[in-house]
Chain A
């Protein structure tokens, strides 16, 4: 319940959105987003869902629309069979190996999974919705590994791609989604994913968020998981000044599975926030969540994870674990795991721990001759293992390990 604020705190965005001309497919979507922003603004910390993450720096920053630069930055080696590349917020057909497909193709289903009126990050995206990755995998097809890459090299741009990924019955896809950017530019990357999995489909969605240190990353995944389908999300949340990843997943058919794992790495002045809302809306589904947060310096880590079990969702098996490691006296971790259960034949549990590195373990390693820094790195890596081991795709795993290592090398 947001109190009506005399001045809409999203005014900067609203002004910019109103000046835009929209392509046909975007008219309704953008209008819905603008209406939501105009009516409610963006949430303050008084809103329960944003209790721990203050968006004011995002709202007060001035952003410009992508300028259409034709930079060709150095890019990480391609790991998948195809890759769609954004540079400075602009979809670059010339750098991509996956031919872009316009969102207008998806007009019929666009926005069907989201509710901008209650999901502010989604509303912000809707107000500016731009072409993103549009993928439809036909029934029964195994599409292998596809990559989505965003690199920002220049300018305080704000970009809001809308990605739509739809898997037909029994289809398979691994999607590696990497976001990078130069340090020192206060840009905003605000992607929204609409993921729809038909019966028996399997999507492994690995996200490597390694934006520049001054960037803002506000992303939201909306996944509708059909009967017997599996959505497997891993998110590394390591870059940006304020980085919030939301996942709204719904198990809509019997015997679906949802795995959400992640690692958050935060350092000086950073806020890293993972917020998951998992809706068990059908019987016999299983969900697993393991999130690990490592904080250094004056970092702030947030985990909010809600498991909602509807009355029809009998025989739900839900598990969630979130653990945080504080490596500095100035770090802060706030976590709010949450169960809301309306079915009786369920097995649901969550756990949360926050603490420092175990002094006994550290001593054990040092007593065997391993120097303190190396010992700490080993223990941090071990701490992340449980979450990272959930990533089965070798290419994705390699990309992830590399990102974690480079973070550690940079921050240690």
Chain B
């Protein structure tokens, strides 16, 4: 269970989040929809612990543990995964090396045994095949020279390998064509189950055709202004944020 209570946050002294309250029970997928500038990306960065986003009030617990006090990597090790809106390029860092380092760092943090290079390769190849990713993506630098779709697929591959408990998808649908969108959705849906939850942050309803949420929340002006079932997404799409959100 992810529990957000009265969360306020600012960037460079400017308040972006104005008191967010949200409960995401384990096993559910919730969508957060909102117009540009409503604080969607800020929320995902605050949850994942990015520097420069200062929490000024409220609390966030994940399965009862206060995550706001944790470093980004500690949050990752508790099972929190952020799918980036714009995955970063890491020239010179091989994709395979990166994935294995990340996997083992998390396993180590959880007191699990590390996987060796052979085991990892086998695992990665299987996951890549399922995601229809060419194998040479393992050899290239992380996201370097990847198309927009490939970067998102790489994020989904990471998610598949790291098997998070909570995935936060930060407008991961931006700039994706239908095929890539389906791959992302399949990746999330494959993990769906009683122990997995996801927060799908998006501007458009489109992605929610493929990842059907249990609940939809509207984020406006740094606050959740309305919550409802999946039908709320369609309502927003039809009427726009101005009308539907109030």
**A residues neighboring B (CB under 8 Å):** 358-361, 363-372, 374-375, 378-379, 381-386
Q: Which 6 A-B pairs have the closest CB atoms?
A: A382-B92, A369-B76, A385-B92, A366-B72, A369-B106, A368-B102
A360, closest chain B residue (CB) = B88
Residues of B within 8 A of A363 (CB): 50-51, 72, 88
Q: A374-B105, A378-B93, A378-B101 are in contact. Are A366 and B76 (CB under 8 A)?
A: yes
Query: Which residues of chain A are near B97, meaning CB under 8 Å?
Result: 378
B92 touches A364 (CB 8 A): no
Known contacts A366-B76, A368-B105, A382-B93; can you find 13 more A-B pairs with CB under 8 A?
A359-B51, A363-B51, A366-B49, A366-B72, A367-B50, A367-B75, A367-B76, A369-B77, A369-B109, A374-B101, A381-B92, A382-B91, A385-B91
Contacts of A371 in B (CB 8 A): 71, 73, 105
- Determine if B73 and A369 form an interchain contact, defined as CB atoms under 8 angstroms apart: yes
CB of B219 to closest CB in A, whole Å: 21
CA distance A356 to B108 in the complex (A): 28
Scoring B101, B103, B162 by chain A CB atoms within 10 A of each residue's CB, the highest score goes to: B101
Closest-by-CB residue of A relative to B78 is A369
Q: Nearest CB to that of B92 among chain A residues?
A: A382
In the bound complex, CA of A359 to CA of B52 (Å): 10
Known contacts A364-B84, A368-B158; A386/B73 CB under 8 A = no
| A379 in complex: contacting residue of B51, B73, B93, B105, CB < 8 Å | B93
In the assembled complex, 29 residue pairs joining A and B whose CB atoms fall closer than 8 Å, in A order, are: A358-B88, A363-B50, A363-B88, A364-B88, A365-B98, A366-B71, A366-B72, A366-B76, A367-B73, A367-B81, A367-B84, A368-B102, A368-B106, A369-B77, A369-B102, A369-B105, A369-B106, A370-B105, A371-B71, A371-B105, A374-B101, A378-B97, A378-B101, A379-B90, A379-B93, A382-B90, A382-B92, A383-B92, A386-B92
- For the complex formed, measure the closest distance between the CB of B26 and the CB atoms of chain A, giving whole angstroms: 20
Q: Which of B14-41 contact A (CB under 8 A)?
A: none
Interface residues contributed by chain B, number (CB under 8 Å): 31
| Secondary structure dominating the interface of A | helix
B105 → chain A, closest Cβ, in Å?
Answer: 5
What chain A residues lie within 8 Å of B77 (beta carbons)? Answer: 369
How many A-B residue pairs have C-beta atoms within 8 angstroms? Tell me.
Answer: 80
Inside 8 A of A385's CB, which chain B residues have their CB?
91-92
Nearest B residue to A370 by beta-carbon distance?
B105
B82 contacts the other chain (Cβ, under 8 Å)?
Answer: yes
Contact between B93 and A370 (Cβ–Cβ < 8 Å)? no
The answer to whether residues A370 and B101 also contact, given A364-B84, A382-B90, A382-B93 and a CB cut-off of 8 A, is yes
**Closest Cβ of chain B: how far from A360's Cβ, in Å?**
5
Which residue of B has the minimal Cβ distance to A371? B73
Cβ-defined partner of B73 (8 Å) among A358, A370, A378, A384: A370
- Residue of B90, B109, B141 near A364 (CB, 8 A) is B90
Give every chain A residue within 8 A of B88 (Cβ-Cβ).
Answer: 358, 360-361, 363-364
A23 shortest CB reach to chain B, Å = 49
A372 to B49 Cα, complex, angstroms: 13
**Smallest CB gap from B82: residue in A:** A367
